[in-house]
Every structure is written in structure tokens, then in C-alpha cells.
Amino acid sequence: MTATSVMQVLGLYERLGDELYDEKVSQSSHALQCAALARSEGADDFLVAAALLHDIGHLLDIETHGPVPPKSGVNFSHEKSGAQYLSSIFPAAVTDPIALHVLAKRYLCAIDARYESSLSKGSRQSLIGQGGAFDPKECAEFSQQPEAINAISLRCWDDSGKVPGLTVPPLEDYRSLLDDLVVI
């Protein structure tokens, strides 16, 4: 499945965004917090869009398989399905960081002993199903990816965007930004 319009992409959040991302925040709340963090740190529009849409693969999984409990350990490779879905309308500057954000977590766990302990319980649990921390060879390969730095930034916003009740701009505030990035 591939996206055909920004309206279709945002429609997924409107229909399924209230599903829980983890025990404390919804998919939409998490996405909006990540985008707000990216904006607050001066990220370009491509990376703000990536922060907003990085977990759209979870929504595609919910649409296909129904809600999956956060602690289930089921891994549908949401980063790959999300990037593939979005690649029909957005450039690689949006989709590549999305495709790499899980690998960025594995990379950060390998290079920083404190990083893994800072992860939420759900993120630590999913790390196991995602392959665990990288070995040195995998670290070297990841760091050579052109979008590795952006994926690491996205990963950090992903880790921080889990604050219950945080007030952030609504989804509609990102529509024109997304429309401007469409490549079809």
C-alpha cells in the first residue's frame, strides 16, 4: 500500500490516532510531540515531517492487524512499512530518517551505555524484537548512511515525545508543511 495524498495520510491519524502508542500517550499525541520537538530544535521541514510521520507504520499495522498491545513484542517493522507507504508522495529526506529510526535506537544503545537505560519500558521491550544493540560492524555500517544523523535526531525526539497531557500544536497545523513537501 502506498499513500496517494496528504489527506489520506492525515486521515490515518484522524481515524486511528487515538490508539495507544504506549501505556500513557496516543499515537497522535506522540507524533505531534515529536514534530513539536523537531520544530523547537530548528529542524528543517523535511525532518519535522519525518518526526510527525515516523510511526505511521504503526497505524498501518493497526489498520491491517487491529490494535496490538504495546507489550506484546510483536514487530511488524513499522519503520519500513511506514517509509515505503510515504515514499510515493514524499522525498527521501522525509522517508529515509523514518526508515532508519529503529536502527538509530540500536546504534545509540551500542555506543552509549546510558542510552538504553534511559529508554521507556516499552522501547526497551521492543528493542529485543528489533535485534538489540548493534555490534561494532553494524555501528560502522549505520554511521555511513547518508541520513544517519537525521535518524538519530528523530530517534531522540521519538524517545522524548511521550509526555502525557502535553499541549502541542494540532495535526492540522502541519497540513501545509506536508503539502509543500509532496513530490507527485
Closest to 20 measured CA to CA, from 184, 164, 179: 164
Closest to 30 measured CA to CA, from 12, 56, 11: 56
The answer to whether the pTM exceeds 0.95 is no
Beta-strand ranges (E) seen in the chain are none
Residue 70 has pLDDT above 70, yes or no: no
Please give the average per-residue pLDDT across 145-165, as a whole number: 96
Cα end-to-end distance, the chain, whole Å: 16
Provide the pLDDT confidence category of residue 184 given band limits of 50, 70 and 90. Answer: confident
Please give the average per-residue pLDDT across 6-16, as a whole number: 96
pLDDT for position 113: 86
Do 153 and 43 form a contact (C-beta atoms < 8 A)?
yes
CA distances in angstroms from 133 to 139, 142, 155, listed in the order given: 9, 12, 14
Residue 21 has pLDDT above 80, yes or no: no
Q: What percent of the chain has pLDDT over 90?
A: 77
- Cα angle: 55, vertex 177, 163; to 5 degrees: 45
pLDDT for position 71: 55
Residue 127 has pLDDT above 70, yes or no: yes
Q: What is the CATH number of domain 6-181?
A: 1.10.3210.10
pLDDT for position 76: 60
pLDDT for position 114: 95
The residue behind cell 519503520 is 79
Closest to 134 measured CA to CA, from 165, 108, 116, 110: 110
Provide the pLDDT confidence category of residue 23 given band limits of 50, 70 and 90. Answer: low
Residue 26 has pLDDT above 90, yes or no: yes
